[in-house]
Structure 1
Amino acid sequence: MSKWRSLAADRGKRLTGTVFFLLLGIILLFVLHIGLGKTVLTPEEVLRALFNQGAEEGFRHIVWNLRLPRALIAIAAGLMLGTAGAILQVVMRNPLVEPGLVGASSGAVLAAVLWISFATDTLVKAVPLTFVALIGGLGAVLLVNALNAGHSGNGTRLALIGVIVTAILQSAVSLFLLQGQQGLSTIFLWTFGSLNGRGWSSWAVLWPWTVLGLFLSMVYARKAELLQLGDHTATGLGLAVNRSRFMLLIIASVLTAASVSVVGAIGFIGLIGPHIASLLVGRKPLFLFPVSALFSALLLLVSDWIGQSVTLRLPLPGMENHLTGLPVGAVTTLLGAPFFLFLLRRSLVKK
């Protein structure tokens, strides 16, 4: 008995230490992220502007109206995508799964593009884009899961099905974009994943979904832990397996779709975050979900910082002379694609 208590205490200390260092890293990067831009601000200038302690009016405008909401949105989106990826990996018992690879991101993007392209102005104003993206994201996840029915233990099969479904959805998005080129540049950056131009209005849309999704994920964390044991064992322990799995899929889809509706389809954050988190605190959902969320938020802040350091001239209609930073989705893809190939190769070697 004392041995189990000692193990539990060690895991608790590891969780506390991991969360502390992740929060500290997020705070430091948050300040540095706000200081980055055409006008570079020192950490002292950032803090003075944030707390209105004698900072110049121009600095306060840059910090409060331009950079602070962008940094907050990056953190929120990272929390959401990291949690969504962890939920999907636990529910499907597969470390190769992430929102982009099971169609959640592409489904949300396709639904949103269709809505923007064909819905009337009255409907667009009446129905929030988040709800439309949610329907698309949830539908894509359920489709991939249905196609993999009976093979839940085959991670490679699930990954390949997800890649195929995602490719089909992305092709559909490309066709609709080619048919109507008005607003092509904006939609292109949005489908690729970008934080450029996001302000307080975007934050107002995002934060309620972040709070709701993270709260529900922790509520269902213990049920997710039972699902890890297998359907038969979970049923024997009194869990309503199908209902619990469906609710967890809805939570993951809500988190993904809400994030996509604001910042676009940022890939691989939901793969890297949960995997690193599992190495730090194990795969117990009660620990995995919050650590995955925090690490993903840290990673998205770093990725956006890298993206802002690179300047691009976009050869798109209406934006020929417009300079912009590298979309954060491009940075996460460059980081995540090799990581995914490494995990896939290791999975194939084990088999």
Structure 2
Amino acid sequence: MKFLADFFMKAYNADVHPSNVDVVENSNVFKPGNSQKVFSKTLMYLLSLAMGISFLGTAEAALAELKAGDRGSEVTTLQQRLKRLGYFNGQVNGNFNSATSSAVIRFQKAKGLTADGVVGDATAAALYKKQERKTTAASNSQRQAQRSRTTTQSRQAVTSTTNNDFLQPGDRGLEVRKLQQQLKQAGFYKDSIDGVFSASTEAAIKRFQQANNITVDGLAGTRTISLLQSATRQSARKPSTSVTKRPSVQQNQSKAQVQTLQQRLKQLGYYKGQINGSFNAETKDAVIRFQRKQGLVADGIPGVNTLSALENLTRRESIKALQVRLQQNGFYTGPIDGILSQQTQAAIGKAQNAYGLSANDVINQRF
């Protein structure tokens, strides 16, 4: 700010400072016609000063941090970015609330940054760095395509998303092929592995996200890919079995485990029989219906993927029922979405304090 003031004073003194004239009475400054020139120059310097101050104010605002309590379009953009990366499950509303702060902290921890929940320069750079690379890569790809004719294989390489932090519909290349292989291994994808992020690939990702109780957006973001890699590693560690001797509930699981299976199928509306721990034809039919609904291999055998999807969905339904109960008793005002968010946890705490119950008592709706 000081350099602008100095600049103005020096420029002004060049015209009207007493050191530049003999005496005021003898100066030409106030002669007819010259006063207007002085006024015009002075006005120009004042405008320059005002513009400089405005520029500094704008620059200061641009460098401002985003933190809890802030509101506006910048927060909306932040929430959208965090949601796309799989760190934010809340509502995109432009309000830097506790859910947004928690999402920022999770992102900062994952990237090895200071986990303070404040979006400063380092956090912003980590959030948007790869997104900028994607835009640059796309522009470079377009220029390269204009310069030369390429084969189908090279065109796929140009549109490959190996430098991006997420995969989305329309992407092509080796990363998409790898994604499809992992989805197929996990039991969520049945089509050909062609390296094209098609509608069937998007649908498979949504089924996987729903089964794992994360944001269902059809994008292969950081969290989705991490969970998918974990699922495929677990599947790879399991010993291979022949078609004639596959492990099944009736062979390897206890009566109590079959009862749990039947209870969960009944809770979701797939099973209407007795909870007797017997893996009968009615139980198997219920398993097949559930598998078809979730886009899994419909073989009637509750393997790892089927049991995982079943557990996640029943837990989500239980949380929904809890949210309804908390809402009816005036402790919860959020969405009935089956997500154990901070708002839901806060409502559980309120119910605990009001009724003198433990967290488990509230979760099991003993109030």
> TM-score normalized by structure 1?
0.21
> TM-score normalized by structure 2?
0.20
Q: Identify the structure with the greater helix proportion.
A: 1
Higher relative contact order at CA 8 Å, sep ≥6: structure 1 or structure 2? 1
